[in-house]
Amino acid sequence: MCLAMTYILGIDPGIRRCGYALITSDNTIIDAGVLINEKKNSESYNQYLINDHKIIDEKKADRRMRLTRMYDTYNEIIKIIEPYKDNISVIGLEQFYFMTRTQQHAEFLYGLRGALVMYALTQGRAIYDVGPTEMKKYITGRGGAKKLNIHTMIMSLYNLNTKPKYADISDALGIAYVTKAMSKQTL
């Protein structure tokens, strides 16, 4: 009897960048990356890019437009994982930890998170919340670890020769690793 490989999806959600990592139960990275939805230095103040396409003038964007933009970003992740989705056993999401500027900002972020949770639930997947401190402590042994420590441990855990270009990718890999442990799959 051939058992299907199981996959774990880790997501580090954000307004500007969204890190994702799809790993196997034996710690093989299937795909990991970051979807960028932020201003590029070479662009004018109000031009934002997603996957190298200008999408909106940020100054004129209302919350609905920004939510639509983020929905498109998360749909990109869904397209990337499509070939593996039937074998994704669990999805881990980083819990938001931030000092928000306004209540509207907080509501916006939790709206994004809600969209990801609904995707997981409609797919019948277990979902785990992983706090930033919890992930750092599990990966490095210290809840207050710096980004460099996380990069170093992620490189070691996944046998990488170079650190991921963005911290969001390291975070997503860490979230996937911790989610795997939380779901009681073999480490």
Q: How far apart are the C-alpha atoms of 146 and 15, rounded to whole Å?
A: 22
Are the CB atoms for 95 and 54 separated by under 8 Å? no
Average pLDDT, the chain: 78
pLDDT over 90 for what percent of the chain?
34
The pLDDT, as a whole number, for residue 54 is: 43
pTM (two decimals): 0.79
Q: Which domains does the chain have, with CATH numbers?
A: 7-182 (3.30.420.10)
Q: Which two tokens stand for residue 169?
A: 């990718």
Express each pLDDT in 6-50 by its tens digit. Answer: 899 999 987 778 899 999 989 999 999 988 765 444 433 333 444
pLDDT at residue 128 tops 60: yes
What average pLDDT does this structure show over 58-71? 63
